Amino acid sequence: MFMCWRSRIRPGPADRESARHTQMQQHTPAAFKTHENILRASAEGEDALTFQLLPQICGKRPSKIGAVDGNMADSMPFKGITKPAHDGFDFWKLWHGWPQRYIDCPMTDSAEHNASPFQSSEHVEDTIDFGYRNVPRGQKKTMVREVFESVAGKYDIMNDVMSLGIHRVWKRIFVGMLNPRPNMKLLDLAGGTGDITFGWLRAGGGPAILSDINAAMLSVGRDRAIKAGLIGKIEVCVVDAEAIPLPDCSVDRVTIAFGLRNCTDKLAVLREARRVLKPGGRFFCLEFSQVEIAALAPIYDLWSFQVLPKMGQIIAKDSESYQYLAESIRMFPDQETLAQMMRDAGLEQVQYRNLSGGIAAIHSGWRL
The verdict on 201 and 299 lying in the same domain is: yes
The verdict on 89 and 206 lying in the same domain is: no
Quick: pLDDT tens for 145-182: 777 777 677 778 877 877 888 999 999 999 999 999 99
Q: Which residue in 223, 251, 248 sits closest to 236, CA to CA?
A: 223
The verdict on 69 and 200 lying in the same domain is: no
Q: Beta 103-104 vs 3-4: how paired, if at all?
A: antiparallel
pLDDT at 43 over 70: no
pLDDT at 125: 63
pLDDT grade for 135, boundaries at 50, 70 and 90: confident
pTM, two decimals, is 0.63
pLDDT at 16 over 70: no
CB 185 within 8 A of CB 207: yes
CB 63 within 8 A of CB 77: yes
The verdict on 297 and 225 lying in the same domain is: yes
Q: How far apart are CA 258 and CA 147, in angstroms?
A: 14
Query: In CATH, what number is assigned to the domain containing residue 354?
Result: 3.40.50.150
Q: Beta 360-366 vs 277-288: how paired, if at all?
A: antiparallel
SS3 of residue 210 by DSSP: strand
Total domains present in the chain: 2
The verdict on 145 and 92 lying in the same domain is: no
Mean pLDDT of 228-241: 94
120 domain residue, yes or no:
no
The verdict on 155 and 303 lying in the same domain is: yes
If one compares 235 and 42, the residue with the highest pLDDT of the two is 235
183 domain residue, yes or no:
yes
pLDDT at 187 over 50: yes
CB 150 within 8 A of CB 319: no
- Which residue, of 113, 141, 162, is where some domain finishes? 113
The verdict on 108 and 149 lying in the same domain is: no
Q: Which residues of 345-361 are buried (b: 16+ CB within 10 A; e: fewer)?
A: bebeebebebbbebbbb
Mean pLDDT of the chain: 74
The verdict on 105 and 198 lying in the same domain is: no
The verdict on 13 and 144 lying in the same domain is: no
122 domain residue, yes or no:
no
pLDDT at 132: 67
The verdict on 171 and 306 lying in the same domain is: yes
Ranges 135-144, 267-276, 295-304: which has the least confidence: 135-144
251 domain residue, yes or no:
yes
pLDDT at 313: 84
Instruction: Tell me how long the chain is.
Output: 368
Q: Which residue in 55, 33, 278 sits closest to 65, CA to CA?
A: 55
Residue 35 belongs to what domain range? Answer: 3-113
pLDDT at 21 over 70: no
What does 160-203 look like in DSSP terms, one character per residue? HHHHTTHHHHHHHHHHHHH---TT--EEEET-TT-HHHHHHHHT
